[in-house]
Amino acid sequence: MANVDPKVLERANAWLTGNFDEETKAQVKDLMQNNEKELVESFYQNLEFGTGGLRGIMGVGTNRMNKYTVGMATQGLANYLKKSFAALPQIKVAIAHDCRNNSPFFAKTVAEIFAANGFHVYFFDALRPTPELSFAIRLLGCQSGVMLTASHNPKEYNGYKAYWDDGAQVLAPHDANIIDEVNKITDPAQVMFSGGAGKIETIGAAIDDIYLNGIKGLICLSPEAIAKHKDIKIVYTPLHGCGVKLVPEMLRRMGFTNLIHVPEQDVNDGNFPTVYSPNPEEPTALKMAVDKALATGAEMVMATDPDADRIALAVRDKKGEFVLLNGNQTNSIFTYYLLRRWKELGKLQGKEFTVKTIVTTELISRIAEGFGVKWFNCYTGFKYIAELVRENECSMTYIGGGEESFGFNVGGLVRDKDAIISCGLAAEVAAWAKEQGMTMLDLLHHIYTQFGYYKEKQISVTKKGMDGLAAIKQMMVDFRANPPKSLAGSAVKEIYDYQLLEVLEVKSGAKRKIEQKTTSNVLQWLTEDGTIVSVRPSGTEPKIKFYFGVRENLHSVNDVEAVTAELDKKMNTIATELKLV
């Protein structure tokens, strides 16, 4: 133990002598005696609220998800809620959880702590999608809510998404203020783990019904096409997660009659036994569903991640093979369909808007401009989209918006990305496209010919643990000090630094301000030919992410393969130049 940081040992010893249960103390002692590396990883820092709230590997320690870190975070949140809503006679919160190992236990722990603090707690009777928790907060007039989930992370992770009274994830200044309150909780004895008898109210089916009816009212813009093509074959998999009940029910209510399941993946299981990773961005996660679609002659595959806030789609190409759409393509199709149908139905009045994030395809911006609809750019994280919705909903109408990581939402019903909405919308778009004599892929290519062929690629570099965190920080320092002068032969003309909130015009050296409320550790390089490369450390995973965006005109759908090859070659060149491959 001589090489272990004294601060790590101090934190670990505090867990051996403090108000922790004997099982926890035994596990800490075992780490100290037998696993120095894991001891350091477990205690070198405290879990903090990031872009996705609290998230980490489950286990003992200050840097792990366990009863005590969850409890201390909850007590800190409770203390902040008491200060923020002191004038209310009763503070109300809603709690939900996903299918992950320990999620029900963590959810119950959170509920009991809130109840012991005198709050009225609405507690879902079983696992529910993250977006339904967002919906329930506003429906029930809550001041906050917590969703126990680690989204698409590997099975050893769990997490804690904190929501505010508007149904959106916590934003500044509340996030920093909550951290301040959490940091004041230094001993489990300060946490009110029990004592709230009668303050917890179970909720479930009634909320589901209101939620699903609300979604149906938001989408369903082409009821005739749905009725005509209601038997379109769709394979759906929840990847062992929360979508298993509500996605099929949503499609049934819309009128679709031919939904095909993947029975092995309908089983809720936090070990995710049939997939290497429950991340719908990974093609391997959809393999069983695609195999089922090929065997049954289905036209589309849908998958939702474990907490059912993100969607992945696979559609057939001209050869009859399945192509996995990326998040940019899915969002572009959704945006185009919504704006076109709003226009055809006479719903566009000049006061509508859509939202994308700064690393999401510029195609969405061009589509919005083509329909005369205002668009906003915001940081990665749906809470920033929700913030723009909240700020503009009194004077404008939010149609929809999303981010490249497979998240999308329609309207103001839910203040987070919503895969239940997205699955319903995807089925509707497929039916509408079929009525136009197109497949989903045909529709995407049609969009490219109208607005330009935008193609994107993401490369993530994983750097785990304390050393990895330091390495990621250094990479950002190096990129700021020595940015590339050109990318794939095109000179870099502008550098956007969202940490400094300024744009550097490379040739002139002139600088201008970026209009954002807060800073973010993101760099973007824009070249003369329209290429955009963005770099940002992930807020929820031990990764640094690189986003490539290239474009070219597409004069005919017959040129798709040739232009695709050209754009892929350009992105591969950039990846090589940045030493990512």
Residue numbers annotated as active site: 151
Q: Give the separation between CA 504 and CA 493, rounded to whole angstroms.
A: 8
| Spatial CA neighbour of 356 closest among 309, 311, 409 | 409
Query: Looking at this protein, which amino acid is placed at residue 494?
Result: E
- Strand pairing class (144-148; 92-97): parallel
Q: Cα torsion for 49, 50, 55, 59, to the nearest 10°?
A: -60
Q: Give the separation between CA 300 and CA 302, rounded to whole angstroms.
A: 7
Q: What is the CA radius of gyration of the chain?
A: 24
H/E segment holding residue 71: helix 67-84
Distances (CA, A) of 354 to 213, 376, 422, 433: 23, 6, 15, 22
Q: Which residues contact 343 (CB under 8 A, 6 or more apart)?
A: 371
The sheet that has 92-97: what strands, in order across it?
54-57, 157-164, 144-148, 92-97, 120-124, 200-203
Is cis: bond before 173, omega within 30 of 0?
Answer: yes
Question: From the centroid of its chain, how far is CA 271?
Answer: 20
- Specify the DSSP class assigned to residue 273: T
Q: Which residues contact 482 (CB under 8 A, 6 or more apart)?
A: none
Give 93's strand partners. 121, 144
- Side-chain half-sphere exposure of 284, counting CA atoms within 13 A: 7
